[in-house]
Amino acid sequence: MTSKNEEGELIAGGGVWYAIGDARNMEFRLPGHLQHTAFNAETAAALLTIQRTHPGTPLNIYCAKESVRKTVIKKLSDMEDRAKTWFRTAEDAETSSDKAGYAGAAQLAQEGCRRPMPDQVSTVVPPEMVLKGLKLSKLTQALAYAAIKETKEIPFRRATDNRVKQVQLATKQNFNRLPAPPEIWKSIRHKDFTRQTRNFLWKSMHDAHHIGKFWKHIPECGDREICQFCGETEDLEHIVLKCNRPGQQQVWELAKELWLKKHSMWPNLSIGAILGCGLASITNEKGHHLPGASRFYRILISESLFIIWKIRNDCVIGNGGVPLPVNEIRNKWLFTMNQRLDLDRVLSNRLKYGAVSIRPLLVLQTWASTLKNEVELPQNWLIGPRVLVGIEPNQPSATPPRRRGRNR
């Protein structure tokens, strides 16, 4: 029960009712350190009831709010290991005594709201109720792995810390918000990324690729530290944004061209902005979030990043340092983007079969304004002939990227 006093302060009180004339009947007012809500008042009433009842006694607790029952059952399901306790709503009351009990508890709650001083509600868990470890009957490999991880201290890596700070700075500049490190690590596992891209982003955040300074102290491999084309240290930022070798510049020009068909703002690209593309939140002029544009941005930036990496490896490993032709670079990028478009169409059509899928409306919003001959397409182009992005390939036609072994 909640009410306001003369000063407008919100007050919450609760009541516990057992029977007419029962000495255990009580009313109380929530202490100041607890948030004064009806939910908290009912939860406190249930706690007081459990604390005053012998552990082996079967117990029925009637609550007005369904949320109390759901919360307790979900979070304290192991209570039944010690005693049988049922949480029910007022609608479940069958006997006249149960109904009278609920009415009596409500009356006591009103009286609790009128009390001048709050009561003390002990939230201390009795030592005999504190369970340590995990139940073997409930133990899974995932729980065991999580428990082992909690016991290990995460080592500090300067390179990783620098990457996190770069992502935070770029996100602040482009989207005017400062993400916390857990949010950054969650973003690189975004469902809009392919599995290969997620793995690549994870290694990139740790600066764990075998490039640049990795080769500096390895005998007979020191020359690999330097870019064969530019003569500078070949770190990830150099490969993705600065290298003069054909690849990165052409890919970002294509990405910008396709993006500007959909949105007027092209962000300032930096290594932090690229690795933090999973944090993108694109808005319109009124500041409203655009889920389709945000998703397209994540796909565009992540796929462009990964294909630059693959083009670099094709050049260094496959062609002995000879750059790929510009036409081939363009066609590789177009092939990749059209592959993602085709994948979205397939997944959107799986919805009716209950398989892993994407909402059709989100797919339509994602690729809107980026398609070839879009004005001639039907409103729902997810079903029908193949649809392509709105940039023409150069001849020869785009071909699938060659399969290679594990990248360096």
Domain boundaries, the chain: 2-122, 158-376
- Which of 226-235, 335-344, 348-357 is predicted least confidently? 348-357
Beta-strand relationship, 85-89 and 59-63 = parallel
Residue 340 — very low, low, confident or very high, per pLDDT cuts 50/70/90? very high
Question: In which band, very low, low, confident or very high, does the pLDDT at 179 lie, cut at 50, 70 and 90?
Answer: very high
Residues 3, 114: Cα–Cα separation, whole Å: 9
Pick the CATH number of 2-122 from 3.30.70, 2.40.128, 1.10.1060, 3.30.420: 3.30.420
Q: Cβ contacts of residue 266 below 8 Å, gap of 6+?
A: 256, 259, 260
Around Cβ 396, how many Cβ atoms within 10 Å?
A: 9
Three-state SS string across 209-270, please? Answer: CCCHHHHCCCCCCHHHHECCCCCCECCHHHHHHHCCCCCHHHHHHHHHHHHCCCCCCCCCCC
Query: How far are the Cα atoms of 18, 76, 301, 369 from residue 347, in angstroms, in the given order?
Result: 56, 38, 21, 20
pLDDT band at residue 6, thresholds of 50, 70 and 90?
low
The pLDDT of residue 408 is 42
What pLDDT was estimated at residue 75? 53
Tell me which range, 45-49, 73-77, 326-330, is most confidently predicted by mean pLDDT.
326-330
> Stretch 333-346: mean pLDDT, rounded?
94
Contacts for 253 with CB less than 8 Å, ≥ 6 apart: none
3-class state of residue 385 by DSSP:
coil
213-261 confidence digits (pLDDT tens): 999 888 888 888 999 888 999 999 999 999 999 999 999 999 999 999 9
Cβ(167)–Cβ(271) under 8 Å?
A: no
pLDDT-derived band at 66, boundaries 50, 70, 90 = confident
**Amino acid at position 104, single letter:** G
pLDDT band at 154 (very low <50, low <70, confident <90, very high): confident
- Mean pLDDT over 106-129 rounds to 74
Residue 389 has pLDDT above 80, yes or no: yes
Q: Residue 396: is the preceding peptide bond cis (ω within 30°)?
A: yes
Tell me the CB-side half-sphere exposure of residue 322, using CA atoms within 13 A: 4
Q: What is the pLDDT of residue 95?
A: 72
Q: Above 60 in pLDDT, residue 400? A: no
Which of residues 219 and 169 earns the better pLDDT score? 169
pLDDT bucket at 208, cuts 50 / 70 / 90: very high
CA–chain centroid gap for 273, Å, is 18
Residues 6+ apart with CB under 8 A from 112: 1, 13, 14, 15, 27, 28, 29, 41, 119
Instruction: Answer yes or no: is pLDDT of 70 > 90.
Output: no
Output the pLDDT for position 23.
84
Rounded to whole angstroms, the Cα distance separating 174 from 188 reads 17
The predicted model gives 288-312 an average pLDDT of 95
Which pLDDT value is given to residue 82? 45
By C-alpha distance, which of 142, 161, 160 is closest to 150?
A: 142
Residue 336 pLDDT > 90 = yes
Confirm if 15 and 112 have CB atoms less than 8 A apart.
Answer: yes
53-62, 329-338, 398-407, range with greatest mean pLDDT = 329-338
DSSP state of 307: H
Please provide the average confidence, as pLDDT, over all residues in the chain.
83
Please say if the pLDDT value at position 406 is more than 50. Answer: no
- Does residue 302 have a pLDDT over 90? yes
- Res 77: pLDDT: 54
